[in-house]
A and B are shown apart, each in its own frame.
Chain A
């Protein structure tokens, strides 16, 4: 049996900026190949697995995205310092002092900043902007850097996962390797209905892979497995916290991309209650996931999203609670096992 938590840690070590998900896809392909019936990669790079059901029923799509936020080299400046832009939502302020790996050869680099000694009062007041940041790959000059790096190369965070505190995991890429690990684990089971496991690309830059994946699959139902925002720290008003760490997977009622199918959400809640699995509702309506694209594909799809709360999401040190991860796994599994009951109701 697959150890989903070990798989999660392993997947966070792999690099997969949006549009450059090969390493993650290759590993997932190896992992799931033994227990799925068909497997293929589509033109945009989505990994789509098919697992035949033991009976008949609607088509169910399970989806998690492989890509993570990253950087792209846009200019090689004097002294061999690299200018870059973000691929996906990254706060420039969190980039300062971070280690990165540049290009296909994963050259070590660091994002530096002006020393505090040299900053003016105005410098300290203003939030750092992307245009003021550079990646230093240790080159002595522009020519040296040009021999090592090409424009369009990716830079990814160079951070190993760390288990710490009370069952917490600190890592880059928890959004959405957490969903990928759960999805891979779920595919071991055979269900009564046909299941399509879709590991999608380019979610972080506009939910792009999911659009083509869902048109190919044309499912009736879809459950999206995600990592989501969490900021349950002091000085945040309770009603503005999107989720809480340790209170179970968060279900989405509505965000900027989707209004979930309410009967499906209610069914998941009912499943959680029956099995004593903790869950919570995401309280903020911000953000969007692949659910939006999947719902709007073809003649429409009934969708719901469950997500592991991740503090400091979209940084190299996002934090999840192992209890939430395990609860999402159990909730997704229990939901799928009794999903035919829902088919009967509608």
Chain B
């Protein structure tokens, strides 16, 4: 895939409408992209899209979430203004003056009650959406209580970077799609999993992992950076390659998975960074606690302006993610033996897994 196709693919996935619990549109964009590259595709009860490339080796689950943050209409007043709540981490300050769009195309502006002593009082329940309706009746012909909307933020490419809404985590989805389309040669059975409801509590990955019961798993998601003026401290920069997660608030990554990632990156000469995220979690958090426990790690895309309509990533970083994932799923028996097969689950378990 050349660069402009890659960017176009990221943009088309990122621009799809998909707040948590309403990921159907994203699924419909991604599914045809996988056509011919995987052996089986299914959608589970919660809406996770699970694509399998069969193999006789280990079951490896790669998870990227399809859902994005958004807003949920809770009340329509008599003048047609919409009151709303958050779906995932929505900052009131970032939302002011932004546009939101509903699944049916209705667009509105987010504003706030102006009789406010200080902007410190700004909370979502003192804000509203104006969709241009003049009455409750008119508004109700456009949207319903219970409808979700997402922030508008078109995708643009600038100097090797992409700016768009929802790169969290459509960038991860795009990486999985790109990887599946490379059709990497591997003995392992690879599960490309596009999860739902990550932003509201890592929920889809939990049931997906239960259904798959993988031998190991990686979450592929965005992460914060510490490389902007007066940023908080974080040893991750945009443009310096994918990160190998050590920990976040949902997981301490399995040391064998971390070392397998490191050795893969080193062998393939992919620049990488270690990531310690002090606030926030990923699907890895719910995957690793599934059933009897699953060795799990995460590869992340350094991203600026997270949870804003103008998230920014580097195209090179994302390519690095794809290459690192390819190396990870291709890593042979020898590195698995040294990394993942400790004495206690030795030969018998391996044999059973391969039959």
Residues of A within 8 A of B (CB): 220, 238-240, 253-254, 257, 259-260, 262, 265, 281, 283-285, 295-302
In the complex with contacts A259-B20, A296-B207, A283-B145 CB distance below 8 A: yes
**How many A-B residue pairs lie within 8 Å, measured between CB atoms?**
66
Q: Which of B21-51 contact A (CB under 8 A)?
A: 21-22, 44-46, 48
Please measure, in the bound complex, the distance between the C-alpha atom of A296 and the C-alpha atom of B77, giving whole angstroms: 34
A283 proximity list for chain B (CB < 8 A): 74-75, 145
Contact across chains for A300 and B74 when beta carbons are under 8 A apart: no
Q: Which residue of B lies closest to A285 (CB)?
A: B85
Q: Which residues on the A side are within 8 Å of B22 (C-beta)?
A: 262
Chain A residue nearest to B125 (CB atoms) is A240
Check if A259 sits within 8 Å of B197, measured CB to CB.
yes
Q: Cβ of B125 and Cβ of A254 under 8 Å apart?
A: no
- Taking CB atoms, residues of chain B closer than 8 Å to A281 are 74, 145-146
Contacts of B21 in A (CB 8 A): 254, 259-260, 262
Assembly CA distance A11 to B211 (angstroms): 39
Which chain A positions have C-beta within 8 A of B206? 296
The reply to whether B211 and A238 contact each other, CB–CB distance below 8 Å, is no
Chain B: number of interface residues, binned into ranges: 20 to 34
Q: Please tell me if the beta carbons of A238 and B77 are within 8 angstroms of each other in the complex.
A: yes
How many angstroms between the C-alpha atoms of A262 and B72 in the bound complex?
Answer: 13
Given A239-B75, A284-B74, A301-B45, 16 new contacts (CB under 8 A): A253-B72, A253-B145, A257-B201, A259-B21, A259-B87, A259-B197, A265-B146, A284-B85, A285-B86, A298-B211, A300-B44, A300-B45, A300-B46, A300-B48, A300-B204, A300-B208
Which residues of the partner chain B approach A296 to less than 8 Å between Cβ atoms? 203, 206-207
C-alpha gap A299/B206 in the complex (Å):
8
* Distance in angstroms between the alpha carbons of A283 and B208 in the assembled complex: 30
- Give the Cβ gap from A222 to chain B, nearest Cβ, in Å: 10
Query: Which residues of B lie under 8 Å from residue A301 when comparing CB positions?
Result: 45
A327 shortest CB reach to chain B, Å: 18
For the complex, give the distance between the alpha carbons of A299 and B20 in Å.
18
Partner of A295, one of B83, B203, B208, B211: B203
Do A259 and B75 touch (CB < 8 A)?
A: no
B270 at the interface (CB under 8 A from A): no
* Nearest-neighbor residue (CB-CB) of B203 within chain A: A296
Closest chain-B Cβ to A199's Cβ sits at a distance in Å of: 23
Q: Is B210 part of the binding interface, using a Cβ–Cβ cutoff of 8 Å?
A: yes
Say yes or no for B246: interface residue by CB 8 A criterion: no
Most A CB contacts (10 A, CB to CB) among B21, B45, B200, B211 go to B45
CA distance A240 to B113 in the complex (A): 14
Residues 66-89 of chain B, each 1 if its beta carbon lies under 8 Å from chain A, else 0: 000000101101000001011100
* Interchain CA distance A220-B44 in the complex, whole Å: 11
21 contacts between A and B (CB under 8 A): A220-B45, A238-B77, A239-B74, A239-B75, A253-B145, A259-B87, A260-B21, A262-B22, A281-B145, A281-B146, A283-B145, A284-B85, A295-B207, A296-B206, A297-B207, A298-B211, A299-B45, A299-B207, A299-B210, A300-B46, A301-B45
Residues of chain A within 8 A (CB-CB) of B145 are 253, 281, 283
Question: Which residues from chain B contact A220 at a C-beta distance below 8 Å?
Answer: 45
| Complex: A171 Cα to B313 Cα, angstroms | 56
Closest partner residue, chain A, to B286 (CB atom): A296
Closest chain A residue to B83 by CB distance? A239
B75: chain A residues within 8 A (beta carbon): 238-239, 283
Which residue of chain A is the closest to B85 with respect to CB atoms? Answer: A285
In Å, the complex CA distance between A239 and B45 comes to 32
**What mask results when residues 205 to 249 of chain B are scored 1 for a CB within 8 Å of chain A, else 0?**
011101100000000000000000000000000000000000000
A337 to B33, CA, bound (A): 40
How far is it, in angstroms, between the C-alpha of A295 and the C-alpha of B86 when the chains are bound? 20
A239 touches B77 (CB 8 A): yes
